[in-house]
Chain A
Amino acid sequence: MKASKVAQYGLITALALVLSYLESLLPPLGVPGVKLGLPNLAVVFALYRLSWKDAWVTSLVRVALVALLFGNGASLAYSAAGAALSLIVMGLLWKTGKFSSVGVSVAGGVAHNAGQILVAMALLETSRLAWYLPVLWISGTVAGVLVGVVSGVLVKRVPEKK
């Protein structure tokens, strides 16, 4: 791996990590699981400016670091499932080339929340989390719009290297 690539991964992963921390400082938004998804800024940026693979690296390293620093086994399972499902959906939409960062990030937000609910259902062996689904579905959409708009601006404004 080239040194510049290592530096790039370090930079963007650190950014995602700081955004995770920043988000954890925000007051809870009423319903568990409803959040802005700030770290997704870094992931969407990586997807559009770098590559799908780079987005994966950014996201998974962030999830692992967050679990090590602030979390536990259960929170790791939730965030990993959310991150993975969101990355798959975002990657597929991005590949079609028909969506901007807004659409991609919206789908990612919804997929992330759906993934977390699926894991919660599996871990708690209950299918009784139905009410969370529409709430997190809509909050994921709204958060996705915000993150998508900001990362769209980032992709446009941050100068391309090389």
Chain B
Amino acid sequence: MNWLKTHRNDVLLIAVLLILGGALALFLYITRQAGGYVSVRVDGELLMELPLREDTQIVLGEEEHTNTLVIENGTARVVEASCPDQICVNQGAVRYAGESIVCLPHKLVVTVEGGQANDVDAATR
């Protein structure tokens, strides 16, 4: 265990960082709450709000910049995206308040919100 002795500061630093990260994760996990609806933002602008309890499928964006958002069984996921990296598709489904799916190339952020959608019309737009 010579390495531990000569690298005491490194080990301390790693331990502190892991504990901080773990504490942050634990805090978020404990304070999580089921989502009521998802908000869809493009370039920071609220586009629509979709309730999670209604299954639906919607194509966001236009021409070459599209993402297909599916809401199913109280979860939201992007099933198809026209961007090369497919990060938002690979991310899978989100369901808890505060979780989000981000598509950087299209500046799209889909966020799960707590409570209920306050604009019913927005969902049918």
A residues adjacent to B (C-beta < 8 A): 28, 30-32, 72, 74, 98-100, 102-103, 106-107, 110, 120, 123-126, 128-131, 133-135, 137-138, 141, 145, 148
Contact = CB atoms under 8 A, between A and B. Distances in A.
Given A99-B9, A128-B109, A128-B111, A120 B104 contact: yes
Nearest to B91: A32
Contacts of B44: 124-126
State the main secondary structure of chain A at its contact with B. helix
Contacts of A123: 104, 107
A131 B99 contact: yes
B21 interface: yes
Nearest to B45: A125
Interface string B23-55: 011001000000000000101100000000000
Interface footprint category on B = 20 to 34
A106 B109 contact: no
A126 B43 CA distance: 10
Contacts, number: 84
B71 to A, nearest CB: 18
Interface string B1-35: 00000110110011001101110110010000000
Contacts of B105: 72, 74
A98 B12 CA distance: 11
Given A31-B91, A134-B24, A138-B22, A128 B98 contact: yes
B10 A124 contact: no
B25 A106 contact: no
Closest 10 CB pairs of A and B: A125-B44, A103-B10, A134-B25, A137-B21, A138-B21, A32-B87, A134-B24, A102-B10, A103-B13, A98-B9
B102 interface: yes
Nearest to B39: A128
Contacts of B56: none
Interface string B99-115: 11010110101010000
A120 B98 contact: no
A100 B13 CA distance: 11
B41 A137 contact: no
B118 interface: no
Contacts of B43: 125
A126 B17 contact: no
B13 A133 contact: no
Given A28-B90, A124-B107, A131-B98, A103 B28 contact: no
Contact of B24 (A124, A129, A137): A137
